[in-house]
Amino acid sequence: MTPDRWCRLRRSTFVVCLLVLVPALSAFAQQQPLLNRPLPGARVPGQPEPQMPLRAPITLTPWIGVAEEYDDNVLMDNTRKTWDLVTVLTPGVTFTAERPTWRFNADYNFDARLYAREPRRNNGFNRQSFELDSFYRLDPQVTLSLDDSFRFNTGVNAFSTEGVVTGRDQSWSNTIRPGATWQIDRQTSARAFGAWTTQNYERGELRDSDTYRGDLGLEHAFTTRLRGNVGYQYAYFAIQDAPNVTTHAPRIGLAYDFTPTLTGSIAGGPTFEVPENGDSRVTPAIAASLVKRYAWGEAAARYNREVGTAGGLGGTADNQTAGLSVTIGTLLRGLTVDFAPQYRVSESDDNTIDVRTLTIPLRATYQITAYFAVQAGYAFLHQRSDSTLRSARTGELLARDVDQNRVYIGIVVGYPIRWD
The mean pLDDT value of the chain amounts to 84
Q: Where does residue 17 fall: left (phi above 0), alpha (psi -120 to 50 degrees), or beta otherwise? A: alpha
Residue-wise pLDDT for 238-257, tens only, equals 998 888 999 999 999 999 99
pLDDT for 209 equals 92
Higher pLDDT, 417 or 43: 417
3-class SS letters over the chain: CCHHHHHHHHHHHHHHHHHHHHHHHHHHCCCCCCCCCCCCCCCCCCCCCCCCCCCCCEEEEEEEEEEEEEECCCCCCHHHCCCEEEEEEEEEEEEEEEECCEEEEEEEEEEEEEECCCHHHCEEEEEEEEEEEEEEECCCCEEEEEEEEEEEEECCCCCCCCCCCCCCCEEEEEEEEEEEEEECCCCEEEEEEEEEEEEEECCCCCCCEEEEEEEEEEEEECCCCEEEEEEEEEEEEEECCCCCEEEEEEEEEEEEEEECCEEEEEEEEEEEEEECCCCCEEEEEEEEEEEEEECCEEEEEEEEEEEEECCCCCCEEEEEEEEEEEEECCCCCCEEEEECCEEEEEECCCCCCEEEEEEEEEEEEEEEECCEEEEEEEEEEEEEECCCCECCCCCCECCCCEEEEEEEEEEEEECCEEEC
Q: Which residues contact 411 (CB under 8 A, 6 or more apart)?
A: 65, 66, 67, 372, 373, 374, 375
pLDDT for 396 equals 73
Confidence of residue 54 (pLDDT cuts 50, 70, 90): very low
Does the pLDDT value for residue 46 go beyond 70?
no
b vs e for 125-137, b when ≥16 Cβ sit within 10 Å of the residue's Cβ?
Answer: ebbebbbbbbbeb
Does the pLDDT value for residue 87 go beyond 70?
yes
Q: Residue 22: how many CB atoms within 10 A of its CB?
A: 16
pLDDT for 55 equals 47
Confidence of residue 124 (pLDDT cuts 50, 70, 90): confident
Cα–Cα distance for residue pair 181/189, rounded to 1 Å: 7
Lowest mean pLDDT among 30-39, 167-176, 253-262: 30-39
pLDDT for 117 equals 93
Does the pLDDT value for residue 44 go beyond 60?
no
Write out the residue range of the structural domain in which residue 151 sits: 3-419
Of 7, 13, 4, 17, the C-alpha closest to 376 is: 17
Q: Which residues contact 79 (CB under 8 A, 6 or more apart)?
A: 400, 401
Please report how many Cα atoms fall inside a 13 Å half-sphere around the Cα of residue 24, on the Cβ side: 6
CATH number, domain of 45, equals 2.40.160
Q: Residue 138: how many CB atoms within 10 A of its CB?
A: 11
pLDDT for 352 equals 86
pLDDT for 298 equals 97
Of 413, 416, 400, 407, the C-alpha closest to 40 is: 407
Residue-wise pLDDT for 104-119, tens only, equals 999 999 999 999 999 9
Looking at the chain, the whole-number percentage of residues with pLDDT higher than 90 is: 64
b vs e for 259-296, b when ≥16 Cβ sit within 10 Å of the residue's Cβ?
Answer: eeeebebebbbebebebeeeeeeebebebbbeebeeee
With 0.85 as the threshold, say if the pTM is over it.
no
Of 247, 225, 228, 223, the C-alpha closest to 236 is: 247
User: How many folded domains does the chain comprise?
Assistant: 1
194 touches 204 (CB < 8 A) = no
pLDDT for 381 equals 92
Of 309, 39, 352, the C-alpha closest to 156 is: 309
Cα–Cα distance for residue pair 121/128, rounded to 1 Å: 16
